[in-house]
Structure 1
């Protein structure tokens, strides 16, 4: 685990990596597994070594609203926030690509913040980056029409995977944007007509202009 941590989290000091090796657990989780549910007490934070984890909110009717992805070299900021209190999760976390995760007990958060400067800086950077990302999502929802929200969503997906071919169904997109599949299909067709993307049977090809 040491070599993986050093490679994926190069800012971590050697003493911090040793502390993680001694106290954290390594997990290999299959795609489709829900690793955090709304209302569940959070006992650990996750460091992502490989794969991808989707973070989203769920409404009372089971609808989903996509927030962001956790990717290699990142951690769950919201679980870190819960370290100071025994709070229940307000989010859902689902593995969308087979993942290797490091589970760090929240009981060690305060201790490591004081003992390891590199952990302190990592946590603060994680808070800041996620706060900025959530603000972008909030702006998208509050100030943009659905067609603009869809374009914003697709751009985030492209940035996330570093690819132009998105293996997303119309239904998946609709769930992430909390709208209907019919609306998504109609807007995607309009985007295709504008030359912004190409619709294929099992994926969406985003066109760079």
Structure 2
């Protein structure tokens, strides 16, 4: 096992790894209703986990990044239930695989794996709690402005490659709502829109608008 693997997932030294695989963007990891025959530990890359509603709308639940594993996979394996969402590779990923049987066996005696599992479950629970608080207590226009500012900071620039559908999925709202709010921001001169792109014209004024909401 490499040094990186030992640093990230030292508890796997006691386990029988099935293999290490590389997945390209767009590859399906799980879809809703799948049986979970293995658990994936993300060495690098990003896995996107979403839920598809009966109305066809998709909502982002969370992303799984380097050093993490998917909590829905963990819960599905431990409860012998089917996977309740969709998991797709968002960025090229290197993944370590452990069989469901080996995972359940190791959970009875591998203290490092137990601590890792409980920690990641708690962190994801707190993350979902925070997301629910935003949905319940913040107006959609506030959440959209916060998202645009956050995305600008991540991308280190004011030109964002985003569609209205992308934002709707991220924030768990309707595309039509996103379009209406972005059009309002454009009328105020705060953003400019092109196909698949949003330019933040004046980030300071956008931040001021958020503060005064």
**Same-fold call, TM cutoff 0.5:** yes
* Contact residue 140 and residue 152 of structure 1 kept, 8 A: no
Distance, in Å, in 2 between the alignment partners of 1:133 and 1:26 is 28
Which of 139-148 and 126-135 deviates more? Answer: 139-148
Alignment-derived partner of residue 133 in structure 1: 127
Q: May I ask how many residue pairs the two structures share in their alignment?
A: 200
Report the secondary structure of 2:180's partner residue.
Answer: helix
Deviation readout 1:52-105 (Å, 9 max, x if unpaired): 111111112332111111111111011111222220111111111111111222
* Aligned mate of 1:60, from 54, 64, 70: 54
TM-score of the superposed pair, with normalisation by structure 2: 0.78
Deviation at 1:201, TM superposition (A): 5.6
- CA shift in 2, pair 1:83/1:98, >3 Å: same
- For structure 1, the residue ranges without an aligned partner over 5 or more in a row are none
Distance, in Å, in 2 between the alignment partners of 1:152 and 1:123 is 31
* Aligned mate of 1:106, from 94, 100, 110: 100
- 1:170 matched to 2:164? The reply is yes
- CA shift in 2, pair 1:103/1:183, >3 Å: same
Correspondences of 1:32-71 after superposition (within 5 Å): 32-71=26-65
Alignment-derived partner of residue 2 in structure 2: 2
Distance, in Å, in 2 between the alignment partners of 1:205 and 1:132 is 32
* Contact residue 57 and residue 174 of structure 2 kept, 8 A: no
Distance, in Å, in 2 between the alignment partners of 1:6 and 1:112 is 17
Distance, in Å, in 1 between the alignment partners of 2:6 and 2:199 is 35
Alignment-derived partner of residue 14 in structure 2: 19
* Contact residue 56 and residue 64 of structure 1 kept, 8 A: yes
* Contact residue 40 and residue 98 of structure 2 kept, 8 A: yes
Report the secondary structure of 1:97's partner residue.
Answer: strand
Once superposed, what is the RMSD of the aligned Cα atoms? 2.8
Distance, in Å, in 2 between the alignment partners of 1:4 and 1:27 is 15
